[in-house]
Amino acid sequence: MGVMILLVCTVIIAMMCGPSVISWQHMTMTDYNTIFNIRLPRLVADLVGGAALAISGALYQATFRNPIADAGILGISAGAELFTVVAALVIPGTLWFKVSGSLIGGTIVLVVLVTLQQFLSPTQLILVGVAMDAAITGVQKILNANQLNGLATVTWTGTMVLAVVGVITIIAALFVAHWGNYLKVSDEFLGSVGLNPRLLRTSLLIIATILATCTTAVIGIVAFLGIIVPQSCRVIIGRNYQDLIPFAGLCGAWLLSATDTFGRLIVQPSEISAQIILAIVGGPFLIVMLVKGKRAI
């Protein structure tokens, strides 16, 4: 209930506040244009993208059995953005082609990680992901040093793609959320009770990757949200994935919309991107997690 109140308050502030403050009582055509063509698509992208990244992070943590697994840390977001850049260079202006490229790029990195997982410890796998992230980011900067996408430039076209793909995939995640609980036990035990651990893990990875890559294609890489939100939610409501996934989605939607709104308002008429704010917060958060030791997933 508290998260819903915060979310509603954030939505109202995001819609009404900015370089020009809008009053519901005296709205002009310029105000309508500002709300419906500038602020609303950005807000919808915040809400869907935040929920998608939070749920994606929780699912990666379940499947990799690692409390700091996340599309950004693992290099999946970097792979997605690299192929988004390539797609934009090949066929400029075709959003669905960029989204498809993003999914292909993220999936390639995911396949590499899953292949190496059987040979590496959880810590080593994270380090491989960090290394791939750095290498892929370097290649991307060679191809295109400018930021290709972001919340500041999002339009209704990109937002609608994210909304359609994101909402459908989030609903799928809610239906299979309880599978995350199954992956807490050994594969041998799951097999002994008639469950296929490979099918469970693959299905959750597909859902997580669609959520992460589609969001990256539209609003860019948002680091640490997939770690901050699921871990904070576990402290609040526990580790049952049937409760965790929907709650993490709500909290992720609120966190990204709140940080984006804060970034728009704090240094008007300029702004600080939500990505920068979350990186500033997420870095120390991750350090604290590592210092305190491994958390249960």
pLDDT by residue for the chain (297 residues), tens digit each? Answer: 688 999 999 998 888 887 776 766 777 777 788 888 889 999 999 999 999 999 999 999 999 999 999 999 999 999 999 999 888 888 877 788 889 999 999 999 999 999 998 888 888 999 999 999 999 988 888 876 555 578 888 999 999 999 999 999 999 999 999 999 999 998 899 888 889 999 999 999 999 999 999 999 999 999 899 999 999 999 999 999 999 999 999 999 999 999 999 999 888 788 899 999 999 999 888 888 888 765 556
The dihedrals phi and psi of 131, each to the nearest 5 degrees, come to: -65, -45
**Cα-to-chain-centroid distance, residue 223:** 8
CB atoms within 10 A of CB 144: 15
Task: Give the contacts of 29 (CB within 8 A, at least 6 positions apart).
Answer: none
Domains and CATH numbers, the chain: 43-292 (1.10.3470.10)
214-253 in b/e form (b: 16+ CB < 10 A) is bbbbbbbbbbbbbbbbbbbbbeeeebebeebbbbbbbbbb
Q: What does the alpha-carbon distance between residue 229 and residue 125 come to, in Å, rounded to a whole number? A: 21
String of DSSP letters for 138-205? HHHHHH--S----GGG--HHHHHHHHHHHHHHHHHHHHTTTHHHHTTS-HHHHHHTT--HHHHHHHHH
Helix axes 40-64, 2-16, angle to 10 degrees: 140
Spatial CA neighbour of 105 closest among 71, 128, 77 = 77
Is residue 154 left, alpha or beta, with left meaning phi > 0 and alpha meaning psi from -120 to 50? Answer: beta
Question: Do the beta carbons of residue 226 and residue 71 sit within 8 Å?
Answer: yes
Which residue from 149, 206, 146 is spatially nearest to 176, judged by alpha carbons?
206
**Amino acid letter, residue 227:** I
| pTM for the predicted model, two decimal places | 0.94
CA angle 169–171–177, rounded 5-degree value: 100
Report the alpha-carbon distance of residue 297 to residue 204 in Å, rounded: 15
Angle between helices 40-64 and 156-175 (to 10 degrees): 30
Q: Which amino acid is at 42?
A: R
CA dist., res. 172 & res. 160, Å (int): 18
Q: How many residues does the chain have?
A: 297
Instruction: Tokens for 231, please give them.
Output: 């871990």
CA distance 10 to 12: 5
Q: What pLDDT is stored for residue 230 in this prediction?
A: 96
| CA separation, residue 249 to residues 56, 233, 244 (Å) | 9, 10, 8
Name the DSSP letter for residue 132: H
